[in-house]
Structure 1
Amino acid sequence: MEMTTVYFHMTLANCFLLCLSCSDFSRKHEWQLYSHNASSSSCSAKRDIIPTLSCKKLIDAFPLDEIDGNYVHTVKRCVFSESPPTPLKGPLKLAAVSEEVLESILDLDVSASLYEDFVLYLSGSKLFPGSVPLAHRYGGHQFGYWAGQLGDGRAHLLGEYTSRKGETWELQLKGSGKTPYSRSGDGRAVVRSSVREFLCSEAMHHLGVPTSRAASLVLSEEPVLRDQFYNGSIKKERGAVVLRLAKSWFRIGSLEILTKSGELDLLRKILDFVIEEHFTSITKNDPDKYVAFFSTVLNETAHMIAQWMSVGFAHGVGNTDNFSLLSITIDYGPFGFMEAYNPNFVPNSSDDEERYSIGAQANVGLFNLEKLLEALYPVLNPSQQSWAKHVLKGYPQIYQKRFQELFIAKLGLEEQDESDDGYLIAFLLKMMEDTRADFTMTFRQLSEVSALQLQSGSIPKEMWALQDLSMHEFFSEWVNMYLPRLQRAYQSDEARQHRMKGINPRYVLRNWMAESAIRKAENDDFSEVRLLQEVLARPYTEQARAEERHYASRPPRWAQGLRVSCSS
């Protein structure tokens, strides 16, 4: 199938397009948790047993791998393999839990985390009641090339939990040992990548970005060998495991592997399952449901990437196997929040070709959607194929519209002025690029500065990012465009500042902050992991402890050489 790729060009006039750029594994028992104060109302309001999971829906819907065992092999004619986790060796330490996930999703009192045995469930050493651990078969295009069979090489889907609210969540361990899809890997994850995934999953949620969630972070003494920067320097690191949750872990690669293998009956089964479970607005008997599904995924993917851009987030491994069919952010490997504004910011030191720079994220989304359509092509008739191609051509406009809406909101403007708002955004970003102004703090300090200070150029010294921006020769010209738009939108400067502070975060998970927490965690000091977790749960609110740690200050000089790679 021939597809036409839409290319975006980074110019002052249109830069806002991009960078505005149940089996043998089941445990039939339930484990009772007793609170230190069993009579307290707060504990009695919560479920006080280990959550019971179910794998029945997935096992009934799809055939399982006929070959037993976790040894690596080519898997055919199935969607999942039964695969028990391999418990981490040595003493286990619970580094952090998400109170919100435990209480609001899993219906547990957070006091459950005080029990030593509870860590065994969070790490895969014990199985939740009803769990039948599964590893998912999928393929993917990695760095632009078809990589064949990939799959969950170090992750185990434990089962589905239905909360008291009626919401269903799939629980998955990451770093829990080998599966049939581990290839040459050991099935483990290390502390540095696990800390980053745990913190960023929850941080993105509190920024309002669609994402998987993280319930817990468990560390062990088990040595894991890694060549962090692929330079021959192999070192011992500590193993870790994250318990993470999502409504579904199906991704574009889940469909690609079936089309590539000619397993079209299974392809239809997954599509019908995903549509019925997660795309309830689509009628299951609609003859055009697959095109409607593609259109919805395209629209939501464009919106997700625009939201990434609005907080300066870049996914460092945006392969098709890492792009969710539900358009949520998954698989936090190398990632980064851009600091100095740079459309060529690359969060992954393994990305020599800069394929996944922040300025390329929208094009990456387009490429992945093209591959999704290629996977769907065999189950579409000729008229549906033509229709889906037309849908694909609308991606740039959908992305541009959502991007512009988000950035207009970041500037505190309630209504769009189609004639010049795009230029206002592009002008600002070009100045930020020229001055290397900090992305997050420029917008935050625009939220905090008064209109009078902007107009007069008397920007306080503590507003360091805005001071950097004000050094641009055209800064006054931009301010003279911006202020009249603000005056049309607000009756008072205080109202404008209040609104903008609720949109522009003061704190994001910068690499240096994560690195500081990782170094401490590797020595069993989890204080900064927990502090960051607390701070990033309220990213729009100025917090004394965060200010003491300089989380909104210029990044320290030692952080300039930090690198994050695919090795984890």
Structure 2
Amino acid sequence: MCRTIHTVVFALVAAASISPVHVLEFCQSTDRDCHSHDRTTSDSVKSRWNMNASNLIQDLEQFRVSCKNLLEAFPVDEVDGNFVRTVKNCVFSKSLPTPLKGPLRLAAVSKDVIEGILDVDMAVTQSEEFLHYASGGRLLPGSVPLAHRYGGHQFGYWAGQLGDGRAHSLGQYTNRKGEVWEMQLKGSGKTPYSRSGDGRAVIRSSVREFLCSEAMHVLGVPTSRAASLIVSDEPVIRDQFYNGNVKTERGAVVLRLARSWFRIGSLEILSESGEIDLLRKLLNFVIDEHFSSIESDDPDKYLVFYSTVVNETAHMIAQWMSVGFAHGVCNTDNFSLLSITIDYGPFGFMEAYNPDFVPNTSDDEGRYSIGAQANVGLFNLEKLLTALSPVLSKKQRKEAKIILKGYANIYQMRFHQLFKAKLGLLGDEEEDGYLIAFLLKMMEDTQSDFTTTFRQLSEVSVEQLHNNNFTQMWALEDLSSHKLFSDWLNMYLLRLRGQENDDDSDRQHRMKNVNPRYVLRNWMAESAIRKAEMNDFSEVELLHHILSSPFVTQETAEEAGYAARPPLWAERLKVSCSS
């Protein structure tokens, strides 16, 4: 199966022929576990908010979350305490965050998340209370912190129990739009699933997660979100590249959000452990809460669920490819059941186009290279089917295998659509796939920059293309050095001329809206991290600002060189799983 998808994917990519929540309504009781309105409908939420829609929360004591939905749905670990252990017959363990030590500093905050999702006034983030709430030092009203039990296949092998080893779910929040978001701290201390870890995250990985999750959202890629980044002086010991070079870094916590943090590994651990009743319970919960189009009494609901995840996973990976994003650790425990990008670790945005690009130095075999991501998605979906098998009939299992065989076509179709848009192509022509593959092969041969090549094709006029006038367009200059560039260019110009009622400015406008000028390149993140480790968060703030409008040319970004040829020192950068 994997060999088949490899052929299909690279026929296009490498040109084979060329080659919920507590609503914002305040309990009268002083008991933080007061949940009298947990099940209020979204309509009533909206009507209450519409009465005072301009008012954002000014005091975090008025901000309430709820864990009732999760606690009532699933059995909880019978053993208390954060000590490491094998956990059975539950989905969550109660686990209190460990407060960060030393002075706390707010290194970054997302206004879009704070005000647009959490309904909190940005002024609140400057308070001492926010520092403690968003780092695990104090619990939000209504919070019962939970660590999630899950397993997973890591680098192709079953790893057994994994779980939230340094993350704590604080509860669910329903905002004034009626959206339910699960809030989680990452880097907030030990849990029963920490294994040999200390439960902490360091500044470098936390800066990367904050910036990238927010940047991916703006790029249109489904993703978890990041509300804030808080750093401390707490010493954290790390061997960054697993080479014996141990050093002391500093702890940090990211407050992040997702509609759900359930992942393929959430189902795998229950199936592998023979906890089939709990497997059904979790499946029913996920379907009822997050797949509203699936009828709860449909006898084929698990099959429909599987079909939806297959489809959406293919779409997500195609979107990764369209922006040159390599996740770095595509284990089943890092693949969301809602097909959103989660668990940012040793990711990387590809610079010179190379299907073998591997962002993670811990990935010696290149299993998670950017060009292998579609194959890995297939592998993970195979493992999801294995996990679902105990609750599927023999007939449904056969149908599920047929569904899985369609994954390659779904991925290829979505990839094709996205890259057609990147080239400004309208309608469908038989040679479009060849045109895309031809370009990517030339980019690979000339080591042309992925992001900037497509962006400069968006900015260049048809007249400039005709005249090969690429002054100050360094990526197109690199591409035009290919011996077959003229052949490709003639094909492309002919295709553009065939688009009726499409003038050059319309094409450029469309292409600029899908081809970013700026992405979070590793060298940019590294520059910001080095400053952040010295308590200078100015470049983190700058990057967050720039990447909030990645399709718009910005003077400050140009001055910083964010659209220029990457510096030579960027080639020596390494990123690992250690964080």
Pick the TM interval, shorter chain: over 0.9
Deviation at 1:116, TM superposition (A): 1.8
| Aligned pair partner of 2:407 in 395, 406, 411 | 395
Contact kept? 2:12, 2:436, Cα under 8 Å: no
Say which SS state the counterpart of residue 7 (structure 2) adopts: coil
Structure 2 partner of 1:565: 576
Kindly tell me: are residues 373 and 353 of structure 1, through their superposed partners in 2, closer, same or farther at Cα, counting changes over 3 Å?
same
Structure 1 partner of 2:239: 227
Task: Tell whether 2:324 aligns with 1:312.
Answer: yes
| Aligned pair partner of 2:90 in 73, 78, 94 | 78
Contact kept? 2:15, 2:441, Cα under 8 Å: no
Structure 2 partner of 1:373: 385
Deviation at 1:17, TM superposition (A): 9.2
Structure 1 partner of 2:6: 8
**CA distance in 1 between partners of 2:327 and 2:10 (Å):** 24
Deviations 1:356-378 (CA, angstroms, capped at 9, x unpaired): 00000000100000000000001
**CA distance in 1 between partners of 2:12 and 2:551 (Å):** 29
Task: Tell whether 2:472 aligns with 1:474.
Answer: no
Structure 2 partner of 1:541: 552
Task: Tell whether 2:297 aligns with 1:285.
Answer: yes
Equivalenced residue count is 549
Structure 1 partner of 2:287: 275
The code of the aligned residue for 1:420 comes to: E
Say which SS state the counterpart of residue 156 (structure 1) adopts: strand
Kindly tell me: are residues 370 and 17 of structure 1, through their superposed partners in 2, closer, same or farther at Cα, counting changes over 3 Å?
farther
Deviations 1:413-462 (CA, angstroms, capped at 9, x unpaired): 12221x111100000000000000000000000001111111121211x1
Deviation at 1:49, TM superposition (A): 2.8
Say which SS state the counterpart of residue 459 (structure 1) adopts: coil
* TM alignment of 1:214-253, pairs within 5 A: 214-253=226-265
Task: Tell whether 2:466 aligns with 1:455.
Answer: yes
Structure 1 partner of 2:27: none
Deviation at 1:14, TM superposition (A): 3.5
Task: Tell whether 2:100 aligns with 1:98.
Answer: no
Structure 1 partner of 2:441: 430
**CA distance in 2 between partners of 1:531 and 1:43 (Å):** 30
Structure 2 partner of 1:256: 268
Kindly tell me: are residues 438 and 10 of structure 1, through their superposed partners in 2, closer, same or farther at Cα, counting changes over 3 Å?
farther
**CA distance in 2 between partners of 1:183 and 1:363 (Å):** 29
**CA distance in 1 between partners of 2:569 and 2:436 (Å):** 32
Structure 2 partner of 1:33: none
Task: Tell whether 2:493 aligns with 1:495.
Answer: no
Kindly tell me: are residues 28 and 252 of structure 1, through their superposed partners in 2, closer, same or farther at Cα, counting changes over 3 Å?
closer
Deviation at 1:43, TM superposition (A): 11
Deviation at 1:101, TM superposition (A): 0.2
Kindly tell me: are residues 10 and 401 of structure 1, through their superposed partners in 2, closer, same or farther at Cα, counting changes over 3 Å?
closer
**CA distance in 2 between partners of 1:491 and 1:159 (Å):** 50
**CA distance in 2 between partners of 1:162 and 1:281 (Å):** 21
The code of the aligned residue for 2:457 comes to: L
Deviations 1:45-98 (CA, angstroms, capped at 9, x unpaired): 212232200000000000000010000000000000000000000000000100
**CA distance in 2 between partners of 1:17 and 1:7 (Å):** 14
Deviation at 1:513, TM superposition (A): 0.3
Contact kept? 1:82, 1:133, Cα under 8 Å: yes
Say which SS state the counterpart of residue 256 (structure 1) adopts: helix
- Indicate the RMSD between aligned Cα atoms, in angstroms: 1.9
Structure 1 partner of 2:121: 109
**CA distance in 1 between partners of 2:55 and 2:74 (Å):** 37
| Aligned pair partner of 2:542 in 518, 522, 531 | 531
Deviations 1:339-371 (CA, angstroms, capped at 9, x unpaired): 000000001000001000000000010000000
| Aligned pair partner of 1:519 in 508, 530, 555 | 530
Contact kept? 1:226, 1:234, Cα under 8 Å: yes
**CA distance in 1 between partners of 2:124 and 2:15 (Å):** 47
Deviations 1:163-193 (CA, angstroms, capped at 9, x unpaired): 0110000000000000000000000000000
Structure 1 partner of 2:424: 412
Say which SS state the counterpart of residue 173 (structure 2) adopts: strand
Say which SS state the counterpart of residue 270 (structure 2) adopts: helix
Deviates more, 1:193-202 or 1:116-125: 116-125
The code of the aligned residue for 2:240 comes to: Q
**CA distance in 2 between partners of 1:381 and 1:426 (Å):** 41
Task: Tell whether 2:510 aligns with 1:510.
Answer: no
Say which SS state the counterpart of residue 245 (structure 1) adopts: strand
Deviation at 1:15, TM superposition (A): 2.8
Deviation at 1:330, TM superposition (A): 0.0
Say which SS state the counterpart of residue 253 (structure 1) adopts: helix
Contact kept? 1:8, 1:17, Cα under 8 Å: no
Structure 2 partner of 1:34: none
Structure 2 partner of 1:556: 567
Deviations 1:105-147 (CA, angstroms, capped at 9, x unpaired): 0001111112122110010100100000000000000000000
Say which SS state the counterpart of residue 128 (structure 2) adopts: coil
| Aligned pair partner of 2:306 in 269, 277, 294 | 294
Say which SS state the counterpart of residue 69 (structure 1) adopts: coil
Deviations 1:319-353 (CA, angstroms, capped at 9, x unpaired): 00000000000000110000000000001000001
* TM alignment of 1:176-191, pairs within 5 A: 176-191=188-203
Contact kept? 1:155, 1:174, Cα under 8 Å: yes
Say which SS state the counterpart of residue 134 (structure 2) adopts: helix
| Aligned pair partner of 1:143 in 155, 166, 183 | 155
Percent identity between the aligned chains?
70
**CA distance in 1 between partners of 2:9 and 2:59 (Å):** 57
**CA distance in 1 between partners of 2:304 and 2:4 (Å):** 21
Deviations 1:13-62 (CA, angstroms, capped at 9, x unpaired): 443699x999xxx8469xxxxxxxxxxxx996212232200000000000
Deviation at 1:560, TM superposition (A): 1.0
Kindly tell me: are residues 262 and 153 of structure 1, through their superposed partners in 2, closer, same or farther at Cα, counting changes over 3 Å?
same
The code of the aligned residue for 2:554 comes to: Q
Say which SS state the counterpart of residue 542 (structure 1) adopts: coil
Say which SS state the counterpart of residue 280 (structure 2) adopts: helix
Deviation at 1:6, TM superposition (A): 3.6
Say which SS state the counterpart of residue 117 (structure 1) adopts: helix
Contact kept? 1:320, 1:368, Cα under 8 Å: yes
**CA distance in 2 between partners of 1:540 and 1:246 (Å):** 25
**CA distance in 1 between partners of 2:284 and 2:8 (Å):** 39
Kindly tell me: are residues 134 and 227 of structure 1, through their superposed partners in 2, closer, same or farther at Cα, counting changes over 3 Å?
same
**CA distance in 1 between partners of 2:193 and 2:229 (Å):** 23
**CA distance in 1 between partners of 2:526 and 2:462 (Å):** 37
Q: Which runs of 5+ in 1 are unaligned?
A: 30-41
The code of the aligned residue for 2:565 comes to: R
Contact kept? 2:15, 2:437, Cα under 8 Å: no
Say which SS state the counterpart of residue 146 (structure 1) adopts: strand
Kindly tell me: are residues 547 and 214 of structure 1, through their superposed partners in 2, closer, same or farther at Cα, counting changes over 3 Å?
same
Deviations 1:295-330 (CA, angstroms, capped at 9, x unpaired): 000000000000000000001000000000000000
| Aligned pair partner of 1:485 in 468, 489, 495 | 495
**CA distance in 1 between partners of 2:448 and 2:389 (Å):** 45
Structure 2 partner of 1:35: none
Contact kept? 2:8, 2:408, Cα under 8 Å: no
Q: What is the TM-score when the length of structure 1 is the normalising length? A: 0.94
Kindly tell me: are residues 542 and 221 of structure 1, through their superposed partners in 2, closer, same or farther at Cα, counting changes over 3 Å?
same
Contact kept? 1:16, 1:403, Cα under 8 Å: no
